[in-house]
A and B are shown apart, each in its own frame.
Chain A
């Protein structure tokens, strides 16, 4: 189902035979033989039953976990730990509560990696960028507010703006809307698509919400658990422009059902109808 690859194009993220084993009291194969290319300016979503290792894979790409076998390259370079080229947005608790909204967004400006050979024009542009990002995420009126004064949705907007501030080539998102209510989530979906079109980043997005995965992704990567591996890669049959109505189209719903069914099949969990009968008989 994969799109035909252009031979000369170097993928933004290149994963070959990647594996992750957690050594402990019990040896757990979290990921096995992962092969995946993410192209520049592509939006890829990762879904799968719990325990399939989708978050682990994302954290390995981000350099926050290490793989125990295989190869991983980002932007043509072998990944060895976290770096400014791969910003990450977390589910929650990642904002700095002692900094107000605009200072959270500007946080990366305080890091040496972003201050090397900087001209005054760069500095000027950077402060303009912080303001631009603030209005991009619709929080211009909240610049001076502190994180614990914001709703969960607003906090995630700030986290996204902060991650985008240093213009990362790759944006990794680990269930960023998982703690938000359904209405807020819809708003965030259109916001992140808007950001994606404007910022031209490469996005890898982990979610347990299949609808979200299809609506946002150009490809949906389905992982299966025990051991964590890539099961199927779906190419989403929607164009670059997305809007909420598409969620009710035939092709969207068909794909949603197909993916949900496949997740259920791979999860290894079945409803024990015999047990249910016994329980209702008591």
Chain B
């Protein structure tokens, strides 16, 4: 009888996949939409003004870079997102830590936070304009509102996920409350916290366009909004793709930091 491999098929549930096949599929997944876009744009079915071709989006991007301060738009947008997100992280971390550690704090703050996070950040724009004004502060405030309340709940959950046995082992070795927070809860939750920071950074970017609705005169979101007024769909495309690319780069940076900061998590036994 001929020897046959018992390797399960490609489409078996959670089946195995070789590295080469994986990257092959990934390449198809990335290139196929590009090809479809190119095909549809050049087929003449859709008017250029609704769907510009990849080539014209590229040309518009180059033009934006050469004549219309693309770098300045990117810089100010990155600044706004980072500032709003950082402010949110600096305040949400200790609050989330307290919610995840002490039941009274949880009772006091978690239902409130749950309630507020369902309020749409966009609806706060008029209030923010009244309270903060229309300068940089207001854009940062919108991004802050969009991420802060979610972040608190996620940080609290990260801290709550620390296994009870880790805490109890420290208690039976004589650790005080402060020592448990400092030597067990924080280091144990750190990798999850970094992941939370990565995910919320992504959400902060989604609030950029909304934030730049408020009396902005620079930034990627503002450029997209302005392009709409002049029917420059290619520029809208360029802006959206740029935001996506910046997000991808930041996401990869977070993952790199994760691997460098927590090597013990990425070990193979």
Contact = CB atoms under 8 A, between A and B. Distances in A.
Given A82-B168, A146-B264, A111 B173 contact: yes
Given A93-B166, A162-B169, A98 B174 contact: no
A148 B267 contact: yes
A97 B179 contact: no
B172 A87 contact: yes
Contacts of A100: 264
B142 to A, nearest CB: 36
Interface residues of B, number: 23
Interface of B: 163, 165-166, 168-176, 179, 183-184, 187-188, 190, 262, 264-265, 267, 269
B187 A111 contact: no
A146 B172 contact: no
A147 B163 CA distance: 14
Contact of A98 (B163, B262, B269): B262
Ordered nearest first, which 4 A-B pairs have the shortest CB separation? A84-B174, A94-B165, A113-B174, A82-B171
A166 interface: yes
A110 interface: yes
Nearest to A94: B165
Contacts of B168: 62, 64, 82, 88, 90, 94
A92 B173 contact: no
A62 B172 contact: yes
A40 to B, nearest CB: 19
A98 B187 contact: yes
Contacts of A163: 169, 172-173
A150 interface: yes
A144 to B, nearest CB: 11
Given A98-B188, A149-B269, 7 more contacts: A93-B165, A94-B169, A96-B187, A108-B174, A111-B183, A113-B175, A163-B169
Question: Which of B169, B170, B179, B265 gathers most chain A CB within 10 Å?
Answer: B169
A172 interface: yes
Contacts of A114: 174
Interface string A201-219: 0000000000000000000
Contacts of B187: 96, 98
A125 interface: no
A112 interface: yes
A87 B188 contact: no
Contacts of A162: 169, 173
B264 A94 contact: no
